[in-house]
Amino acid sequence: MTDSFELLDVVAVLHDLPAEKLRKGSLGTIVELFDNQTFLVEFADPDGVPYAMPILAQDQVLKIYQTPVEA
Q: What is the pLDDT at residue 36?
A: 73
Does 68 reside within a domain? Answer: no
Domain at 58, CATH number: 2.30.30
Q: What is the pLDDT at residue 66?
A: 85
CA 50 to CA 28: how far, in whole Å?
A: 10
Overall domain count for the chain: 1
Q: What is the pLDDT at residue 1?
A: 45
User: Residue 6 contacts by C-beta under 8 Å, 6 or more apart in sequence?
Assistant: 30, 33
Does 29 reside within a domain? Answer: yes
Does 27 reside within a domain? Answer: yes
List per-residue pLDDT tens for the chain, 71 residues long. Answer: 457 899 999 999 999 999 999 999 999 999 999 987 999 999 999 999 999 999 999 999 999 998 887 76
Q: What b/e readout covers 59-70, taking b as 16+ CB neighbours within 10 angstroms?
A: ebbeeeeeeeee
Does 70 reside within a domain? Answer: no
Q: What is the pLDDT at residue 48?
A: 94
Per the structure, the complete domain to which residue 27 belongs is given by: 10-63
